[in-house]
Chain A
Amino acid sequence: MKKIILGILIFSIYSMAGQYDKVRISPDTSYIYVYHKGKAVKIHRIQNIKHKLVGEYTKLYKPNKYIQPAKVNRKIETIGEIELLKFMEDKSNSKQGIVIDLREKHQYLKESIPSASNIPFEIKDRPEKLEKVLEIFGAKRLSSGKLDTSNALDIAFYCDGLWSNKSALIIKKFIELGYPTNKIYYYRGGFQMWKILGLTTVSNN
């Protein structure tokens, strides 16, 4: 009798311990914590194996949008979800880096990747705003016109998905303005791949 009770106890504790172990991020990671707007958010995957994605990010066709190449520039590192999560843990959490969502403001307010801040793509045609954004990122424009980026943040850009060229165009703009290529990362999968993988999102409303 005692053995049965002990067995059930151990099994129950084991079952309850791995709440996010069924659908893991990687073989040895079930979840990570990141800071979003000053609060810790646990990022994990949806544990319901029967869950199906519905809504905007399930569309396979977008008018006048084309599949983007993996590389936006030969010096810019393209990253996937695992690298982005590592970026969040190593850089965003320690305030050495920032994740930037280039989608429209209403899309960001509805749902975004945790730890991301929003810079709407429309900023591309607003040079005065772009200069201020560079300042916020820790880059200083010297009197010689050169950009001092010694204390600038690392940035990981993402937009709607594999078919959106917003990230590529903004990255190009940043390079033109003098932001160093080794401080820029391109998450090509974007919000669509994040959703497809069932990773945690945050509502910013």
Chain B
Amino acid sequence: MRQILEHFSLMLVGILSIILIYLIVQYNLIDDEVIIESVKIDTTNKPEKLKIKAKTKTNDYLKNMETYRDVDVSVSKSKNEINMNTVKVKSEVKVTNKVSTNSGHKDKVGDALDNLLQDL
């Protein structure tokens, strides 16, 4: 009996360790500060020529900005939106016409607004 209990305990420890590792990976429980090393860039010894060139470039850029009249700024196609914290919710109100719901929290105002503003 005691042996069985010991085996069971060891198995439990193993499983819990795996769960622990999974949680660490899933929720990034290790702080960034431990991994990231600070990098200092020395800007004081930058060649004069380069400084002037950078300034001219900035001025040109700002001038372009002032005359910019496009409808919107384009977003890089390579960066698609990641919906990490988006919940898909479908209205229960439409369903309730056929099947009764137990939620008891129908969104009557929202439904009325949806009906009224369909053409907008």
Interface residues of A (CB under 8 A from B): 1, 4-5, 8-9, 11-12, 15-16, 19, 22, 35-42, 44-51, 54-56, 59, 61-63, 95, 98, 105, 111, 114, 117-120, 122-123, 126, 129, 132-133, 136-137, 153, 198-205
Complex: chain B residue closest to A42, CB-CB = B87
Known: A37-B93, A38-B93, A59-B73. 4 other contacts (CB 8 A): A44-B85, A54-B80, A123-B120, A201-B83
Partner of B68, one of A4, A63, A126: A63
Bound-state CA distance A114–B113 (Å) is 16
Determine whether B58 belongs to the interface, using a CB cutoff of 8 Å to chain A. Answer: no
Interface mask (B10-41 → A, CB under 8 Å = 1, otherwise 0): 00110011011001000111001000000000
- What band does the interface of chain B fall in when counting residues whose beta carbon is under 8 Å from A? 35 or more
B107: chain A residues at CB < 8 Å are: 35-38, 117
| Interface-central residue, B69, B81, B83, by most chain A CB under 10 Å | B81
Closest Cβ of chain A to B81, distance in Å, is 4
Are A39 and B86 neighbours in the complex by a CB distance under 8 Å? Answer: no
Residue among A11, A12, A42 with most chain B CB within 10 A: A12
A37 CA to B13 CA, complexed, in Å: 44
Known A-B contacts A5-B9, A37-B90; A55 and B113 likewise in contact (beta carbons under 8 Å): no
Cβ proximity bits B45-84 to A, threshold 8 Å, 1 near / 0 not: 0000000000000000000010011111101000111111
Give the residues in chain A near B9, CB-CB below 8 Å. 1, 5
Q: Which residues of B contact A12 (CB under 8 A)?
A: 16, 19-20
With contact pairs A37-B89, A61-B73, A133-B116 given, residues A9 and B83 touching in the complex (Cβ less than 8 Å)? no
Give the interface of B toward A (CB within 8 A): 9, 12-13, 16-17, 19-20, 23, 27-29, 32, 65, 68-73, 75, 79-93, 96, 101, 103, 105-107, 109-110, 112-114, 116-117, 120
**How far in angstroms is the closest Cβ of chain B from A51?**
6
Q: Which residue of A lies closest to B24 (CB)?
A: A15
Chain B hits for A63, CB < 8 A: 68-73
A10 to B32, CA, bound (A): 26
